[in-house]
A and B are shown apart, each in its own frame.
Chain A
Amino acid sequence: MSDLENLAKEAEEASNAASTLEGLAQVQAQFLGKKSKLVKAKKALGTLPAEDRANAGKEINEIKGQIEQLISGRKAVLQESEWSSKFNEERLDLTERLGSIDRGHLHLITQARDELEDVFIGMGYSVAEGPEVETAWYNFEALNIPDWHPARGNFDTIFVDLGEPEEVMLRSHTSPVQIRTMESQEPPIYIVAPGRTFRTDSADATHLPAFNQIEGLVIDKGITMGDLAGTIDSFVHAFFGEEVKSRLRPSYFPFTEPSAEFDISRPDGSWLELGGCGMVHPNVLRNCNIDPEVWQGFAFGFGIDRLVSMRYQLDDIRELVVNDARFLRQF
């Protein structure tokens, strides 16, 4: 009997002595395996008198249970220590940055353009585009700017050597897209037209011969100047913030009547001129075969480069076309 009692103690000593999982497996085989004393004792049960058999069997099972428990306890300890030494070996300092995945950057103009498009998409507009080289019809005449009109001189148009002199040009505003849209689409029309525009300006800190504008056009029944003012206000809130106010001031564009400049408020209470707008001139609608007695609408437009330049306080707008990677990667 005492043999078996010692067995549990021996097993405990042996398993505690095992320092690896492999060593513990040997201990397990020694005390619980086929050739172990316990198994032998179990086989020997049959040789015992019948009245002793039950007690002896019970004792064997109890001891077996004790040994199993202490081995599995030891196993858990060894496993844990193995993991922890593995983790120690694999330790990394994550602040060591040897290499990086270079991310690319969208150009500031693209970022602003996308953002502007998204604001108007949210207001139910779609985005229209058109060619950058245009005819005098789309750039001027259809927009109620006949050849003699004093306003033509204000556009500082870049002409190209195609067709008659001054017949083909780099568009001086995005307004030709209004005409192309009205020619190809029945009202109601709710569009914005972003894109590149051109003037014969020498590049300097505040001017570029190639720049970007966005233009809006709504043609529907019963559109009023109040709708124009409200739309601009709502856009200004969405893009610049709820606290920014807008106002309209009388102005003149041949393609709108009444015409206005629109300003936004600065934090110091002063006003900043942002763009031009107005009610689409009936002649423009007629030029696109839209009946001004049935349909009316508004248009507005402003410069994207200027917006970007204001937002990031660029001290030289030429940064937008030089494409210095140190500039591009800031945004």
Chain B
Amino acid sequence: MKVLLSWLKEFIPDLDHDPEEIGEKLSALGLAVESMEVVGSELPGVVVGKILDLRPHPNAERIQLVDVDLGNGEATQICCGAFNMQIGDFIPVATVGSTLPDGMEIAQRKLRGELSNGMCCSASEIGLGDDSDGIMILSENDPDREWDIGSSVSDTLGLESDILWDLEVNANRPDAMSISGVARDLAASLGLPFKFPMDLNGNPQVTLEAGIQIEIEDPTLCGRFLACVVKGITVGPSPQWLQNRLIHLGMRPINNVVDISNYVMLELGQPNHTYDLHKIKGSRLGTRRAKVGERLLTLDGLERTLSEIDGVIVDGDDNPVGIAGIMGGASSEISESTTEIIIEVAWWDPPSISRSVKNLNLMSEASMRFRRGADYGINMERALNRVVELLSETCEPEMSKILETNGNLPDTSPVGISNERVNGLLGTSLTSEEMMDLLQSIGFESQEVISKDEDENSSANNFQVIVPSWRWDTQTETDLAEEIARTFGYERIERTIPRGPFTGQLSRFQKGRRTVRQILIGTGCDETMPMPFLAPGDLENAGLSSTAISISNPLVQEESLLRTSLMPGQLKIISYNQSHRIKKLKFFEIGHVYLPSEDDQLLPDEREYLSISIAGGDATQIVAILDMISLTMAFPNMQLKQQEIEGLHPGRSAQVFVAGQERGAVGEIDPRVLRNYGIDDSVAWLELDLGSILAGPFGKKKYTSVSKYPSSDIDLAFEVPDDTSSASVAGCLRKAGGTYLKEVQLFDSYKADTANEGVRSLAYSLRFQSDVGTLTDAEVSELRAACISEVEQKTNAKLRE
């Protein structure tokens, strides 16, 4: 909502504060100032010019040559990039030597060989509104006006220096969507009197019979409906001062009737609609819910198909002439020939308008106010009268009395307030009188509750508040506590710190996750955090199942799916970094994946995965990191099971099991997948369902006393078929070695010889030690024999002699 200082002053006559201070007050009231600017400054050297001729530029297609008369009767040539003007139009021209509000200095220039002696200006270039779309045609809405060619544009338009604030108005402040509402709050916070400048009762005089009927058919849709007939209208341009204000607040002037309707909406926050009386069949306006499939051509020129979610205003034939609270219909639009009109002001049920806005995907200035809850009180009559009052500046309107009919209006019963509860919520110690005074300053009337009971309990109400009709949002004691806090000033509330009963700490899960991160940065991995969206084809390119949850309203195709694996995102990161010639890429990520639920759950099966990827790395490197994590975190019974896994190199991939559950995969990315992602190196890969692992069960680290006796080391080498895992050989060794076997370490693996294909040699060093005495040579060789025999019996490995 934009507000002008001069306009606020009409409601706060004593307002003479510094604009900076006013801005700070507005922000402190919850009307955050998004911008403040000085507008309508003097424009020396910017004059009214008349277009005498328009010619193409001989050397440039996007520029035309404009001959303007600047008051001396001669043609002055200007090069101009806009094409929206016609010969005979009057436009603002910045003459050579002038300076525009944005600091641009105008000099004679040559553009592609043609002289330009000044600049044709858009509205925004002369500091009047935001419209920079084409040159401002002064005569557009007022072709009959006599223009004083060469005169100052700021004098001609009556531009006066003013301050314009753009305020952020929250959804709970219907009143602040108007100049008067902002002024009411501001006056209260500055301790100045607030008043409506327009006389509610005196004018204009009622001289007509209305001659129309109004009716509310659905009282849940429309709470109040007012209309009056006005005759003696001459449609033409509205007064320049009014046009200027509309432009400053971001609206485009059209004609007096439409402009005044908009002006009153901005001033009083009361959307209102004008109909051409003769285009309303049956001289009747009714309101009802729309029928499914009902159609209406709206003022913006589009045909809308309605449903029972929407409300309509209908004529005597029950045909829609407007969408309730959002936009009028084209059929009864004001035209140049309109002389008699109906002005209508209504109060629509905010949730109904909100749903309709969403249903039709149609937002308007009116709906923005109705969905927040417009004023349902005397302000509606004030708005009607104000429209007629302003019309009388450009024509001689005659007005009928105002017709009124009511539906369901908000509950207006007083809201009880407990002084103690409000202070208990805010942390203040205000008296009831102070609270009542604060509310009074913004128009909330209250009265003290005289307690009949002397020993009233603490939660009893101390006073009652009547919520004014412009604050539909305010319904409860808590709502009123906010108004008390706001007018009291948040900054004046004493700051305290609550002392909870808890010792703050991370959960076991959260501590574990932090430890995993620390381990990984210790191994040289950089943490990545890509967005969790995928493009169609990303999963297939990674060799993974394409089943993924899709986004209903993606902005771009690249973000239309939710990831089911961290792999596509990581491959893109590696590809990106390689294309920037960055070396030694070791990345990890801990992030959510969203698996389709297998049962009837509404939400996806969301899991927190860990991935590690090493460009140029091989599977053994990443298994070593996995071991490091597993041992540090004491993952219970972490095991690898070699097998083919989608997306991974078929010969270099294994499932990871923790506590008997499959929890991920490790290996190297399938080279065909790498090719899809434009990666020309190998990529070692690990993906773990870290969230599930960290949820437990947990392994235990426990103490065993260190043996005091000497140990004996032996080496054993086996010929092992390729499909027999080292893990199974080592498992046999451990089983046979029992508690005497303190360490097993694979220290060599090589292809034995070409004659023995499919077999490799694995060499282990074993350390035996007893906790109760020194092992004899005989005992060690017994253990050795047991180990060999276990391996040879349980696997296809043979001792290498």
Residues of A within 8 A of B (CB): 101-107, 109-110, 114, 117, 120-127, 129, 131-135, 146-151, 153-154, 158-163, 165-168, 170, 188, 190, 196, 200-202, 208-210, 218, 220, 222-227, 229-231, 233-234, 247-252, 254, 257-261, 279, 281-282, 293, 296, 320-326, 328-329
Contact in complex: B585, A325 (CB < 8 Å): yes
Contacts of B293 in A (CB 8 A): none
Contacts of A129 in B (CB 8 A): 510
Q: A126-B507, A322-B576 are in contact. Are A226 and B494 (CB under 8 A)?
A: yes
Contacts of B510 in A (CB 8 A): 127, 129
Contacts of B224 in A (CB 8 A): none
The 8 A-B residue pairs with the shortest CB-CB distance in the complex, in nearest-first order:
A226-B427, A250-B30, A224-B427, A252-B170, A104-B521, A230-B495, A258-B482, A102-B524
Contacts of B386 in A (CB 8 A): none
CA distance A163 to B604 in the complex (A): 11
Contacts of B502 in A (CB 8 A): 124-126, 188, 190
Contacts of A209 in B (CB 8 A): 531, 533, 555, 559
Residue of B whose beta carbon sits closest to that of A108? B529
Contacts of A188 in B (CB 8 A): 500-502
The B111-137 residues at the A interface (CB cut-off 8 A) are none
CA distance A106 to B514 in the complex (A): 10
Q: A168-B602, A225-B427, A226-B494 are in contact. Are A323 and B573 (CB under 8 A)?
A: yes
Residue of A whose beta carbon sits closest to that of B174? A150
Contact in complex: B602, A146 (CB < 8 Å): no
Contact in complex: A122, B504 (CB < 8 Å): yes
Contact in complex: A126, B506 (CB < 8 Å): yes
Contact in complex: A229, B426 (CB < 8 Å): no
Which of A133, A148, A167, A196 makes the CB contact (< 8 A) with B562? A133
Q: Distance (Å) between the CB of B605 and the closest chain A CB?
A: 10
Contact in complex: A121, B506 (CB < 8 Å): yes
Contact in complex: A160, B562 (CB < 8 Å): yes
Contact in complex: A133, B528 (CB < 8 Å): no
Which of B358, B479, B486, B533 makes the CB contact (< 8 A) with A250? B486
CA distance A326 to B482 in the complex (A): 49
Contacts of A114 in B (CB 8 A): 514
Contact in complex: B552, A160 (CB < 8 Å): yes
Residues of B within 8 A of A (CB): 27-30, 32, 170-173, 350-352, 354-355, 358, 371-372, 424-428, 459, 476, 478-479, 481-482, 485-486, 490-491, 493-507, 510, 514, 517, 520-533, 549-556, 559, 562, 573, 576-577, 580, 582, 584-588, 592, 594, 602-604, 606
Contact in complex: B354, A148 (CB < 8 Å): yes
Contact in complex: B576, A323 (CB < 8 Å): yes
Cβ contacts A to B, 9 pairs, < 8 Å: A102-B586, A106-B517, A124-B499, A160-B550, A161-B549, A163-B602, A208-B531, A229-B493, A258-B482
Contact in complex: B425, A296 (CB < 8 Å): yes
Q: A102-B586, A279-B425 are in contact. Are A135 and B486 (CB under 8 A)?
A: no
CA distance A202 to B481 in the complex (A): 39
Contact in complex: B355, A148 (CB < 8 Å): yes
Contact in complex: A282, B478 (CB < 8 Å): yes
Contacts of A282 in B (CB 8 A): 476, 478
Contacts of B27 in A (CB 8 A): 249
6 additional A-B pairs beyond A105-B527, A190-B502, beta carbons within 8 Å, are A114-B514, A133-B562, A154-B171, A223-B498, A229-B493, A258-B486
CA distance A282 to B480 in the complex (A): 13
Contact in complex: A158, B553 (CB < 8 Å): yes
Q: Distance (Å) between the CB of B349 and the closest chain A CB?
A: 10
Contact in complex: B426, A224 (CB < 8 Å): yes
Chief secondary structure at chain A's binding surface: mixed
Contact in complex: B500, A104 (CB < 8 Å): no
Contact in complex: A133, B532 (CB < 8 Å): no
Contact in complex: B606, A131 (CB < 8 Å): yes
CA distance A251 to B550 in the complex (A): 35
Contacts of B493 in A (CB 8 A): 225-226, 229, 248
Contact in complex: B478, A160 (CB < 8 Å): no
Contacts of A121 in B (CB 8 A): 504-506
Contact in complex: B481, A258 (CB < 8 Å): yes
Contact in complex: A249, B506 (CB < 8 Å): no
Which of A102, A110, A163, A218 makes the CB contact (< 8 A) with B500? A218
CA distance A146 to B494 in the complex (A): 33
Give the A-B contact count at a CB cut-off of 8 A: 254
Q: A114-B514, A126-B505, A250-B485 are in contact. Are A231 and B584 (CB under 8 A)?
A: no
CA distance A135 to B597 in the complex (A): 14
Residue of A whose beta carbon sits closest to that of B583? A325
Residue of B whose beta carbon sits closest to that of A138? B603
Q: A106-B517, A249-B28 are in contact. Are A257 and B481 (CB under 8 A)?
A: yes
CA distance A225 to B527 in the complex (A): 39
Q: Distance (Å) between the CB of B259 and the closest chain A CB?
A: 27
Q: A224-B426, A326-B582 are in contact. Are A127 and B506 (CB under 8 A)?
A: yes
Residue of A whose beta carbon sits closest to that of B604? A133
Contact in complex: B603, A146 (CB < 8 Å): no
Contact in complex: A104, B520 (CB < 8 Å): yes
CA distance A250 to B554 in the complex (A): 34
Contact in complex: B587, A323 (CB < 8 Å): yes
CA distance A260 to B29 in the complex (A): 10
CA distance A160 to B551 in the complex (A): 4
Which of B172, B478, B499 makes the CB contact (< 8 A) with A252? B172
Contacts of A162 in B (CB 8 A): 549, 602-604
Contact in complex: B551, A158 (CB < 8 Å): yes
Contact in complex: A150, B372 (CB < 8 Å): yes
Question: Most chain-B CB neighbours within 10 Å: which of A114, A133, A202, A282?
Answer: A133
Contact in complex: B606, A225 (CB < 8 Å): no
Contacts of A248 in B (CB 8 A): 490-491, 493
Contacts of A252 in B (CB 8 A): 30, 170-173
Residue of B whose beta carbon sits closest to that of A107? B527
Q: Distance (Å) between the CB of A203 and the closest chain B CB?
A: 8
Contacts of B498 in A (CB 8 A): 218, 220, 223, 227, 230-231
Contact in complex: B577, A325 (CB < 8 Å): yes
Q: Distance (Å) between the CB of A54 and the closest chain B CB?
A: 54
Contact in complex: B506, A117 (CB < 8 Å): yes
Residue of A whose beta carbon sits closest to that of B584? A102
Contacts of A247 in B (CB 8 A): 490-491
CA distance A261 to B27 in the complex (A): 10
Contacts of A251 in B (CB 8 A): 30, 32, 170
Q: Distance (Å) between the CB of B444 and the closest chain A CB?
A: 15
CA distance A224 to B764 in the complex (A): 68
Q: A229-B495, A231-B497, A325-B582 are in contact. Are A320 and B529 (CB under 8 A)?
A: yes
CA distance A329 to B577 in the complex (A): 13
Which of A122, A200, A293, A328 makes the CB contact (< 8 A) with B528? A328
Contacts of B525 in A (CB 8 A): 104
CA distance A222 to B494 in the complex (A): 15
Which of B485, B497, B523 makes the CB contact (< 8 A) with A227? B497
Contacts of B371 in A (CB 8 A): 148, 150
Contact in complex: A249, B602 (CB < 8 Å): no
Question: Most chain-A CB neighbours within 10 Å: which of B32, B497, B576?
Answer: B497
Contacts of B532 in A (CB 8 A): 132, 196, 210
Contacts of A261 in B (CB 8 A): 32
CA distance A200 to B170 in the complex (A): 21
Q: Distance (Å) between the CB of B692 and the closest chain A CB?
A: 14
Contacts of B520 in A (CB 8 A): 104
CA distance A8 to B426 in the complex (A): 102
Residue of B whose beta carbon sits closest to that of A134? B603
Contact in complex: B551, A159 (CB < 8 Å): yes
CA distance A102 to B735 in the complex (A): 38
Residue of A whose beta carbon sits closest to that of B421? A293
Which of A190, A229, A234 makes the CB contact (< 8 A) with B504? A190
Residue of A whose beta carbon sits closest to that of B499? A124
Q: Distance (Å) between the CB of B307 and the closest chain A CB?
A: 15
Q: Distance (Å) between the CB of B559 and the closest chain A CB?
A: 6
CA distance A249 to B24 in the complex (A): 11
CA distance A168 to B32 in the complex (A): 33
Contact in complex: A323, B528 (CB < 8 Å): yes
Contact in complex: A200, B553 (CB < 8 Å): yes
